[in-house]
Amino acid sequence: MIKQRTIDIPTDFHDKRVCRDYLCGFCPYDFLRDLPVNYGSCPSVHSPILKANYEKAVQADPRQTFESDHVHSTERFISSIRKRASTLHTRLHKLPKDKKQARTMRQTVDKIYSNLLLKMDQVERLGDEGKVTEAMEALKQVKELRRNRQANQEQLHSLNNSEGHTNNVSICDICAVYLPADKVDTHNKGETHLKFFELRQVAKELKDSHLRKSIYRQSSRADRSSSKSEAKLQTA
């Protein structure tokens, strides 16, 4: 009998496989899900039941909150997009290498062409002199040089094409996408770009709110401990 594999679904919201961003009400992957550019899907579990359990637990005891994890995770997500943009920049900056390569290739093609002209002259001369065998041998070399020239020309052509292509492309640092020169304006007003601005705004608000709460908790603790000390002094 074939044993059926049971899928181990987390049943506790504390489980590390559960998306804490989702529990806190905002997973960046969900937020960017329907965009034309694919930013992947969340690798962690999203479960409405566990989210409801989490919300109940935090309501009963606010110390159970995952807010700090959520703030850091959202920041990590944004920095992963920055890293992705920087990788795209590195790829574009390979251009000078391609230019150098194209120059060398052009020189090779020119050299092959001048050798070809010399060899064709030789074929004609040998033919005029009636040296058939030598002329046939030189003709073989002409054919070889033609093949060689064509192969190098094709390579040069593709290098020039890629160079022209990358010259007309920039990178959007906010969304980490390639932008053809004529698409920059449309992109800057487009859904993907605006969503990323919103994502950064949400991350900033989360961080600020978390910071405010931490400061408030710390000052409340300090107030409580100074009131206790005062009470002790008064009873002493």
| Residue among 105, 175, 176, 203 that touches Zn ion (CB under 5 A) | 175
What's the token pair of residue 60?
């009963």
Q: How many CB atoms lie within 10 A of CB 196?
A: 24
Number of amino acids touching Zn ion (CB under 5 A): 9
| Residue among 19, 102, 123, 206 that touches Zn ion (CB under 5 A) | 19
Dihedral of CA atoms 145, 151, 157, 162 in degrees, nearest 10, equals -150
- State yes or no: residue 85 binds Zn ion (CB under 5 A): no
- State yes or no: residue 27 binds Zn ion (CB under 5 A): yes
Place of tokens 């400061």: 215
> Which of these segments, 20-28, 108-116, 117-125, 163-171, binds Zn ion (CB under 5 A)?
20-28
Ranges within 194-223 binding Zn ion (CB under 5 A): none
SS3 140: helix
Complex with Zn ion: residue 47 or 152, whichever CB lies closer: 47
Classify residue 187 as exposed, middle or buried by CB count within 10 Å of its CB (0-12, 13-18, 19+): middle
Report how far residue 19's alpha carbon sits from residue 23's, in angstroms, rounded to the nearest whole number: 6
Greatest alpha-carbon span in the chain: 129
Complex with Zn ion: residue 22 or 66, whichever CB lies closer: 22
- State yes or no: residue 32 binds Zn ion (CB under 5 A): no
Complex with Zn ion: residue 27 or 145, whichever CB lies closer: 27
Complex with Zn ion: residue 39 or 105, whichever CB lies closer: 39
List contacts with Zn ion (CB under 5 A).
19, 21-22, 27, 42, 172, 174-175, 193
